[in-house]
Amino acid sequence: MDYRKRYEDWISGENFDDDTKKELIEISNDEKEIEDRFYKDLHFGTGGLRGVIGAGTNRMNKYTVARATKGLANYIIKQNEKEPSVVIAHDSRHFSKEFAEEAAGVLLSSGIKVYLFEDLRPTPELSFAVRQTKSTAGIVITASHNPPEYNGYKVYWKDGGQIVSPIAEELMEEINNITDFSEIKCLDGCALESFDNLHYLGEEMDKIYIDKVKSLSLNPEAIREAADLKIVYTPLHGSGNMPVRRVLKEVGFENVYVVPEQEKPDGSFPTVKYPNPEEVESFNLALGMAKKMDADLILATDPDCDRVGVIVKKDNADYLKLTGNQTGILLGHYIFDSLKEKGLLKKESFMIDTIVTGRMTERIAKSFGIEVVSTLTGFKYIAQQIKEQEEGGKHFVFGYEESYGYLAGNFVRDKDAVIASMLISEMAAYYKSKGMTLYDALTELYERYGYHREELISLVIKGKEGAEKIGRIMDKMRNKPPKTAAGLAISEVRDYMIYEGPIKLPKDNVLYFVFEDGSWFAMRPSGTEPKLKIYIGVADSSQGVAENKMKLLIDEIKGFLGAAR
């Protein structure tokens, strides 16, 4: 069915409400907008179902949510479980609560028990609750760190991780089989309280989760010794405010200051351009507050509190925003070293990163005798490897991706900014008790393991034409890869559509180029945003040489992209 026919069906169909029809009629003279809204269905990428809020098959709305949920319900029913159940959570975004209730209604009317969080909760708590309630699946309504016009829908399976192959493909087939909205009950919502199999989750689940997070503390004595440590925290109008503050308070941090303008949940995210701790601008208010009180550490979590960004104080009272890789370097070393010191580092210990993270943490892990598993981008693949490796008798100690996602412990199967915020704060206290800042610690690690530098280039190209252009760039780089860059020969090209590495990975549209000196760059289309991402990594014993090498590679790679377009 072409996009125009879909558009007309939504305007004339009796399954769609008047507000939806009115919104679509208002764009009747904008053919490009109609095409963008209806040329495809939203699909599951690295972050599940995600898109701009609005009417249309390629938008986030109650109908696309209901359709996805009905597909999930049909898939669950086919598993023939005795008492299937689903946990549902949501963040602070526009329509998150409404979409969560829509999903609950569809599941309940299909005969599936629902555990619905009574108010917004962080995504990692949803992952935890799926396993805690022994549920079949979980749903969280969030668009993570995307701009305010976005929302999304992520599905988790009974292991607490986001769905992966083959479940993802099987679920998508079920969703695609739903072509008639009239077969979906509770399409426009229904009285949830009328269902006997609805259960609300609240404080009881919160306490179990927070207690598990606290059990991961490695050096509680350091918190007492550095009692004057000052932390500025911002939840960026999201779901992290209560759980992050609670866990920091309960482990003993007495000087935690929350940015007041960003404390309350608000789906418009009025104080930031993007509610993304990767963006330095998201720290503006927190940094101003930190400078006034001479804070040691600044933390920012995204709306669903699975990512955390960090700014640390330098010796000269200036501040440095850490990259996702730098936080991973510090946190990984802190965890490995603390476990070794306490005799808790097992022979079977392993960590997980992704193919596009920096390689320094891998070097650190191996120096501790820790196996390193590298998987595809997306924390769902890290969760999958945790499950598979632990089933093989190994012991998970740490996992992270460069996009500010970190995990310790095995009771959550997704990146967890509540856990990470606690451990980062404890790590800062640990080094402060030794007369060091986190910046000092990072510098010391660079001197020991080499100066590693990583950069990310994002090429944003929106709409159908943008997707096609990104596809052409990937095809050209795949079919005619460069042989040199910045004076370095490319010694290996890995095409993850065909590459077979040390562990079995799903086929993915990723190209990875390795240079003769170990430097590398990778490129892949984003699974959640209309952009092409290019990751670059270099290392050298000299900081200056590493930085110059990075500059030359960036210039050359941008030239490749320009030629490929």
Positions annotated as catalytic residues are 144
Any idea which residue has 């690690």 for tokens? Answer: 445
Residues 6+ apart with CB under 8 A from 398: 331, 332, 335, 336, 351, 352, 365, 406, 407, 408
**Which string of DSSP letters, residue by residue, matches 257-305?**
EE-GGG-S--TT-TT-SS--TTSGGGGHHHHHHHHHHT-SEEEEE-TTS
Residue 374, φ and ψ in degrees, nearest 5: -110, 125
The distance of Cα 71 from the centroid of its chain, to the nearest Å, equals 24
The 3-state DSSP class for residue 407 equals strand
> What are the distances in angstroms from CA 97 to CA 37, 140, 442?
23, 10, 41
Asked whether 383 and 375 are in contact (CB, 8 A), the reply is no
- How far apart CA 385 and CA 473 sit, in angstroms, is 30
The distance of Cα 144 from the centroid of its chain, to the nearest Å, equals 7
- How far apart CA 373 and CA 354 sit, in angstroms, is 8
- How far apart CA 4 and CA 395 sit, in angstroms, is 53
Amino acid occupying residue 537: G
Pairing state between β 371-375 and 451-460: unpaired
Residues 6+ apart with CB under 8 A from 404: 277, 278, 302, 307, 308, 309, 324, 327
- How far apart CA 74 and CA 48 sit, in angstroms, is 18
Helix (H) or strand (E) holding 75: helix 62-78
Q: Which of 402, 382, 503 is nearest to 127 (CA)?
A: 382
Residue 53, φ and ψ in degrees, nearest 5: -70, 135
Q: Which of 243, 257, 279, 222 is nearest to 128 (CA)?
A: 243
Residue 317, Cβ density class (10 Å: 0-12 exposed, 13-18 middle, ≥19 buried): exposed
| Cα distance from N-terminal residue to C-terminal residue, the chain | 30
**Which string of DSSP letters, residue by residue, matches 218-230?**
S-HHHHHHTTT--
Residues 6+ apart with CB under 8 A from 563: none
Q: Which of 307, 283, 319 is nearest to 419 (CA)?
A: 307
- How far apart CA 556 and CA 552 sit, in angstroms, is 6
